Amino acid sequence: MLKKIVIIGPESTGKSTLCANLASQFKTGWVKEYAREYLLANGTSYTFENLLDVAKGQLNNEDAALQTRMQYSGEPSSDLLFIDTDMYVMKVWCEFVFEKCHHWILNKIVERKYDLYLLCNIDQPWVKDELREYPDLGIREKLYHYYKDIMINQQVPWVDISGTYAERLQKAIAAVNTL
């Protein structure tokens, strides 16, 4: 049975790196964060409505990855799929920037089912790139605590991922192996 593992957390916490490394470790695929693709194509000035487009693009990419994972028999070709970002990330982004969230996103949070969350901590240094918005440690801490509160108040198992990149990978591997 396919297990879906979501990597979440504030920006510049190593989510994409961890996804790629886990997919390599477990010889499986991963779903990239659609927001990067969207913002690189459309610019970094975005509206509340644009975030709905990003959310839909993220789930389209996830659904496409799930379809390509299926063999002709209708069974997954691997038992793991790593997902960089989900609707919880979209919820936090909407609420942090615009103080409201699209009902569509909230509905997808309820509808979508995952098997494990890996919450990336902010103990890695913030790395500037053309898309990142929040280098301030206070804001990063606030965002991290939003994610942690969400994790505590939902039913799917989750693990806080902290430490060096090597330590993070080992913690994540151990958490995945518990599935």
Residue-wise pLDDT tens for the chain (179 aa)? 899 999 999 988 999 999 999 999 999 989 999 999 999 999 889 999 999 999 999 999 999 998 887 543 454 446 899 999 999 999 999 999 999 999 999 999 999 999 999 999 999 877 677 666 666 778 999 999 999 999 999 999 999 999 999 999 999 999 999 98
Buried b (16+ CB within 10 A) or exposed e, 57-70: ebbebbeebbeebe
DSSP letter (8 states) at residue 128: -
What CA–CA distance (Å, rounded) separates 121 from 157? 16
**pLDDT value of residue 122:** 95
- Residue 93's pLDDT is 95
pLDDT at 136: 73
- Residues 6+ away with beta carbon under 8 Å from 150: 88, 91, 92
Q: Which two tokens stand for residue 155?
A: 């039913």
The predicted pLDDT at position 76 comes to 46
DSSP letter assigned to residue 22: H
* Rg for the chain, CA atoms, rounded: 16
pLDDT at 72: 39
Angle at 99 between CA 17 and CA 55, to 5 degrees: 45
Which domains are delineated in the chain?
A: 3-177 (3.40.50.300)
- What 8-state DSSP symbol labels residue 76? B
